[in-house]
Amino acid sequence: MPISAPLLVHCQNLSKNFNGKPAVAGLDLDIPPRICFGLLGPNGAGKTTTLRMLLGQSPRSGGTLEIFGEDIELNRRQIRQRTGIVPQADNLDPDFTVEENLRIYGSYFRLPTHEMDRRIPQLLDMVELSARATDRIDTLSGGLKRRLTLARALVNEPEFLVLDEPTTGLDPQARHMIWSLVHRMKRNGKTILLTTHYMEEAERLCDQLMIIDNGTLLAQDSPTGLIRKYCESDVLEIRGGIPKEAVGRLPTSCRTEHAGESLYIYSNHAKPLLELAQGLPDTACLHRHSDLEDVFLRLTGRELRG
């Protein structure tokens, strides 16, 4: 991608306070066009607040925020005309059928009837809901509702698509279907902003990742870049009885982390980890490559969030 491509989202020093408490504190967020950008962070990190500001559903307390080069506060209608969102909580209209939901939503974008007649069957086909077009919303499973919400987000043919935890609570089949739809959106040239708690999902879908906590930036890079930068290459997980002596003999280059009953040993060399693992039963330890979840936990800590 040429470096000169204008940014689709450009935020500087973006902040938001609720009753004096900062939820987002001076975030710089730039999203170039046609990539999938992941925004990660524990609960309460400021992800949803950031998304709400990007959509003009929450006025910022400070900083600048431009989408398509326009200030969101000044050009909400125009920006939303070109944006689609899959919100975290299901908000399909239970008073209408599957197809009516798309039609009503399209009317908010002032789509002419002939446009809807063309787009809606295509969208229903894409999310494999054509057979359910006349069914009511309350007869759909969670996975089908999610697919319909994704179709709804595409009814205005947006250039910018915001997916707020699109696969939370879905079974693996439904999750894979959403993933393949996201890949398809990317191929179609859409710019995607995704939040998720599933690191595997972030690793699979996103070109760029930003990890935030307490409303500030912790790290930003590609998924592999983050793993290289913030974590050793190998990890040994030991569950239950920890062989203290053997652990004590490890070279100082190994880093250890305790979490409940488990011990995580990180190292850039597999050898000392493998040697330690040999002395332990298979069920008590696991040697693997570090992944994004290790980076995430290292940066945001292991304590539970509200």
Partner 1 sequence: MGASVLLHFGEPLIYLLGLGYGLGRFVGEMAGMPYFTFLASGFIAWSAMNVASMESMWSVYTRMVPQQTYEAILATPAEVDDIVIGELLWCATKSLFSGSAILAVAALLGAVNDWTAVFALPVIFLTGLCFAAPGLIITALARGYEYFNFYMTLAMTPMFILCGVFYPINTLPAPMQSVVQFLPLTHAVQIIRPIVVGEPVTNLGLHLGTLGLFGLVTSWIATILIRRRLIQ
Say which amino acid occupies 70: E
61 binds partner 1 (CB under 8 A): no
81 binds partner 1 (CB under 8 A): yes
For residue 81, the minimal CB distance to partner 1 (Å) is 5
Residue 137, token pair as written in the block: 């919303």
For residue 155, the minimal CB distance to partner 1 (Å) is 9
55 binds partner 1 (CB under 8 A): yes
Nearest to 134 by CA among 143, 142, 124, 126: 124
Span of 85-93, 173-181, 244-252, 275-283 interacting with partner 1 by CB under 8 A: 85-93
73 binds partner 1 (CB under 8 A): no
Q: How many residues bind partner 1 (CB under 8 A)?
A: 26
For residue 41, the minimal CB distance to partner 1 (Å) is 20
Cβ proximity to partner 1: between 37 and 105 the closer is 105
- Hey, what long-range contacts does 222-227 have (CB within 8 A, 24 or more apart)? 223/292, 226/292, 226/295, 227/290, 227/291, 227/292, 227/294, 227/295
215 binds partner 1 (CB under 8 A): no
Q: Would you say 189 and 160 are in contact if contact means Cβ atoms under 8 Å apart?
A: no
- Characterize the bridge pairing of strands 70-71 and 160-164: unpaired
Q: Is 100 helix (H, G, I), strand (E, B) or coil?
A: helix
195 CA to centre of own chain: 2
Cβ proximity to partner 1: between 90 and 257 the closer is 90
Cβ proximity to partner 1: between 156 and 208 the closer is 156
142 binds partner 1 (CB under 8 A): no
For residue 52, the minimal CB distance to partner 1 (Å) is 8
For residue 119, the minimal CB distance to partner 1 (Å) is 15
**Which of 47, 80, 132, 186 touches partner 1 (CB under 8 A)?**
80
129 binds partner 1 (CB under 8 A): no
105 binds partner 1 (CB under 8 A): yes
114 binds partner 1 (CB under 8 A): no
Q: Which H/E stretch holds residue 108?
A: helix 98-108
Q: Would you say 304 and 42 are in contact if contact means Cβ atoms under 8 Å apart?
A: no
Q: Would you say 266 and 287 are in contact if contact means Cβ atoms under 8 Å apart?
A: no
- By CB atoms closer than 10 A (0-12, 13-18, 19+), residue 90 is middle
58 binds partner 1 (CB under 8 A): yes
Nearest to 155 by CA among 195, 194, 189, 126: 126
76 binds partner 1 (CB under 8 A): yes
138 binds partner 1 (CB under 8 A): no
The whole-angstrom separation of Cα 243 and Cα 213 is 34
**Binding string, 160-199, against partner 1, x = CB under 8 A?**
----------------------------------------
Q: Would you say 13 and 276 are in contact if contact means Cβ atoms under 8 Å apart?
A: no
211 binds partner 1 (CB under 8 A): no
Return residues touching partner 1 (CB under 8 A). 18, 55, 57-59, 76-78, 80-81, 83-85, 87, 89-94, 105, 108-110, 152, 156
